[in-house]
Structure 1
Amino acid sequence: MILVNNGSSDGTQAYFDSIPGASPVHLPQNVGPVNGFNVGMNAAQGKYIALISNDMILTSRWLPNLIACIESDPGIGFVSPGANYVSNFQQISLPFKTLEEMQVEAKAYNVSDPNKWEERIRLMPVILFSLTDRLREIGGYDPRFYFGEFGDDDISYRYRRAGYKLVYAGDTFIYHHGSVTTGIDQQQNNSLQVSRQIFYNKYGIDSWAEGLPNMQLVDAVRRQWSPRESVSILAINCCIGATPLAVKTFMKQQGARNVRLTSLSNQEKYLVDLRTISDRTFYFDTSEDFRQLLGGEQFDYILFEHGYSEFIRSFDGLNRYLLPSGHLLA
């Protein structure tokens, strides 16, 4: 257990020093959450590393569950559980009024279940659980995200762009007090907007506006889904791919063994991220590009997320690219 005392002056140092077998690291001043995690990463010696903030309460079987998840696929970069207080569709609601009741409910809930593992475009790591060497390969957290916000988005993008998957372990619940680490900075330093701009300057992408799935489209797929083993999806202008990935994950959870995703975008900035989650990725500019890229190919599903009205004014209809029983969702 590595305990990072991030410049505390409230007795934390004496408390950390009193814990048998722990490895405390004392910093003379607060260097921010992500830099504090990097200090812990540099001190780590185990095969795996779990980065845990001071506002989390761990629960029964959290560690075996996360190990089972990450060991299921050598292509996984990092996994993270759900919590009572978290964004990014990672919230798990359990009935409890006290922390004692929470632990009882969590023990009953935390049963390893691969059907609750979901590949994601990004994760909000209430715990970032990774191979230690893999986290070092990525370079840890980017110190530019001093306040913490959007550092999780950034590290998610870097894992994916290095060829690794991100998996939400929805079979595991831990308790999160919420915004203890970053709440003061949000009030005093406008840290959310400052960090959001740092992320945009780095990637040219707004992680909130362009990195979240459109759940209306995902729910539309769920409502009319009929079981099948093989599915082909054409995703058009779905930003970095959060929506088609959520659809693909749903289909696999429903038993589809072969889900083939083709992504087309008329914005080149999205291509690098689309390639991390798609079987094929193409850029198009004109209707002629579109016809040449797809030829006579047909799909079970066409997902169209942004610019559909402009598209149908300039391009031929999309029905020709649908199989007879196919669905167009826009």
Structure 2
Amino acid sequence: MFSRSGKNVAAGTYEMIVVDNQSEDGTRAWLKEQPDMKCVFNEENRGFPAACNQGAAIAEAGNDILLLNNDTIVCKNSIYNMQRALTEEKTGAVGACSNSVGARQRIDESFQTIEEYIQYAEQNNAYDPFRHQKRLQLIGFALLIKRNLWDDIGGLDEVYGLGNFEDDDICLNILKRGYDFFASTK
């Protein structure tokens, strides 16, 4: 969820591309009214990997690729902190943490409201390289990948259909190329 006012992500610092996989809940109409988004409207649900590849294909050259699930809440400084972590030469990708994800990117916090979650993020979402831990795998709900690696790998493998394990696959390809990836501990 991006703030329309630029509160959570500074206006002009990102390119937002949305690939709609045949929504039927009014999302398409809403997207068509958004002047600051590039949109692709699929006539069938092509799945997460294909949609990510479609979006990356129309992204401006040189922009790193942020894969972001449609139910992810992006809090203040989140993307900025991920971008800072990605500047390390041998870092190929950076993942976010959440209380609603498995594996080692999960934080053990619970929230009753979105406001509580946002308040927690504001208190804890400060850049600190000592809170980044090297990972062997990242979950693709919020995954920032260096553009040169994305291009070299060829994006997500669409053999995974609607989605599952395409993030494992791209992480393996990043490791094979000699790069590391990190996720925050908070």
- TM-score, normalised with respect to structure 1: 0.50
Partner in structure 2 of residue 101 of structure 1: 116
Aligned with 1:79 (options 91, 94, 104): 94
**For residues 133-212 of structure 1, what are the structure 2 equivalents within 5 Å?**
133-171=148-186
Equivalent residue, structure 2, for 1:124: 139
Whose helix fraction is larger, Structure 1's or Structure 2's? 1
Compared CA separation, residues 12 and 95, structure 1 to 2 (3 A): closer
Q: Distance in 1 between matches of 2:41 and 2:148?
A: 23
- The separation in 1 between residues aligned to 2:72 and 2:110, in whole angstroms, is 18
- State whether structure 2 residue 112 is matched by structure 1 residue 61: no
Amino acid at match of 1:99: I
Q: Which of these two proteins has the greater Rg computed from alpha carbons?
A: 1
Whole-angstrom distance in 1 between the partners of 2:174 and 2:39 = 28
Q: Is the 8 A contact 1:8 1:29 kept in 2?
A: no
Deviation at 1:10, TM superposition (A): 2.2
Q: Deviations over 1:188-220 (max 9, x none)?
A: xxxxxxxxxxxxxxxxxxxxxxxxxxxxxxxxx
Task: Structure 1 unaligned segments of length 5 or more: list them.
Answer: 172-330
Q: Which has the higher strand share?
A: 1
SS at 1:137's partner residue?
helix
Q: For 2:36 and 2:97, locate their aligned partners in 1 and report how far apart those are by CA, in whole Å.
A: 29
Secondary structure of 2:158's counterpart equals coil
Larger RCO, structures 1/2 (Cα 8 Å, 6+ apart): 2
Residues 87-132 of structure 1: CA deviation (Å, up to 9, x unaligned): 1211113353100111111110101111111111111122110222
Question: TM-score, with normalisation over the residues of structure 2?
Answer: 0.86
Gap runs ≥5 in structure 2: 1-15
Indicate if the aligned counterparts of 1:94 and 1:105 stay in contact, CA closer than 8 A: no
